């Protein structure tokens, strides 16, 4: 069984970004959404489904997070599109976030 997870680190303060809604789509269809925990993590975004080959998107709703922090931000939603080829692997998609930039990578 494979896994899809994420982690958000707010690099402006060096802390996990708790309370961020993340929506997972596969080939455009919404599969699940969840909110990051106190450690900025969502351990399971598959919501009981099986990861399929194809195009996938994680949408990070960071606008409300920054608003709650009373911090100006350039972003409202951040979409990370990625392709799954090997359905037997685990996919971890971390987001390093600041109010005016972000980066992501394929984690393990």
Q: What is the pLDDT of residues 67-91, one digit of tens each?
A: 999 999 999 999 999 999 999 999 9
* Average confidence (pLDDT) over 50-65: 96
Checking if the pLDDT of 47 tops 70, the result is yes
pLDDT of residue 1: 64
Host H or E run for residue 73 = none
The predicted model scores a pTM of 0.95
Residue 97 token pair: 């976030």
Q: In this predicted model, what pLDDT tens digit does every residue of 8-35 receive, in sequence order?
A: 999 999 999 999 999 999 999 999 999 9
Beta strand spans in 2-108 (E): 4-10, 15-16, 21-26, 29-35, 41-42, 54-61, 77-84, 91-98, 101-104
């Amino acid at each position: 069984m494979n896994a899809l997870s994420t982690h958000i680190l707010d690099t402006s303060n060096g802390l996990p970004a708790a309370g961020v809604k993340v929506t997972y789509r596969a080939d455009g269809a919404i599969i699940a959404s969840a909110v990051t925990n106190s450690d900025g993590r969502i351990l399971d975004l598959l919501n009981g489904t099986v990861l399929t080959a194809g195009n996938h998107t994680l949408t990070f709703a960071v606008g409300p997070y920054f608003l709650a922090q009373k911090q100006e931000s350039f972003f409202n939603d951040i979409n990370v599109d990625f392709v799954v080829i090997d359905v037997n692997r685990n996919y971890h998609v971390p987001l390093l976030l600041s109010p005016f930039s972000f980066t992501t990578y394929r984690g393990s």
